[in-house]
Amino acid sequence: MSLKNVFNKIYRVKKGNVYWKHEHFLVVAHRGAAGYAPENTMAAFRKAVELKADFIELDIQMSKDGELVVIHDPTVDRTTNGVGEIRNLTYNEIKQLDAGKWFHKNFSGEKVPTLQEVLTEFSGKISFLIEIKNPNLYPEIVEKLTNILSEKQQTNDIIVQSFDFELLEKVHQQLPTLKLGLLVKYRIHGISNVQLKDWSKLVQYINPNKALITKNLVKRIHSYKMRVMPYTVRDKKSIKGLLDSKIDGVITDFPDYFIEE
């Protein structure tokens, strides 16, 4: 689904028996539907499709032999039954690991997928928000990613995001048509107009920690012709305040908090 069609959707957001209607809104399934299935696995991405999310958000690292693998941490320790740094393991070694049992025994046997596997299975079913993790560990990761994406017939269902603005500049140099998002960690002084003006020259999305969101910030982001999708919503009590701020989407472990009309 193209971004244009996604933004024509209308959602009702349910909390108890109360619904808030919100138009032109993106629901992004964080690491897949990570509240219901082991993060960054095919099971989590299939659940996101089942729950009618607009995007799956996923994280990429690079194996020792140059394969882009979908996993959040720089090591396999937390989300598999293995140990070691991604960059020191070949993909053949990584794919032997169980990436599901840690979450629940029903997911035993889930594997760490490659980015190519995810794109192959889900292109045309859902859009993709791809986060480049730890680029300092993988000097070739931008080239690897843009080579894969350039082989797709179209990339209007893809956004690439990072906390690293300079990295996004490199992505843009390699693939200028790609939509980009800047992740912003919580900072006590917030985000200045000077920063927004600078960022708006490159990115189309500002995706901040949800604790940064205010009506004023969202209004200022919109004034620079960018959209805003905060991360990560894991509870219903924070939803109304975010929607009242007129955000453009939300990155959430629970896509079914948002119901399409």
Tokens of 234: 């894991």
Q: Is the peptide bond before 232 cis (omega within 30 degrees of 0)?
A: yes
- Kindly tell me the sign of the dihedral angle through the C-alpha atoms of 79, 101, 104, 126: positive
How many CB atoms are located within 10 Å of the residue 99 CB? 29
Question: Which residue shows structure tokens 């859902």?
Answer: 126
Q: Which residues are catalytic, by number?
A: 30, 72
CA distances from 155 to 160, 206, 244, 258 (A): 10, 19, 31, 25
Q: What stretches of 111-178 adopt beta strand conformation (E)?
A: 127-132, 158-162
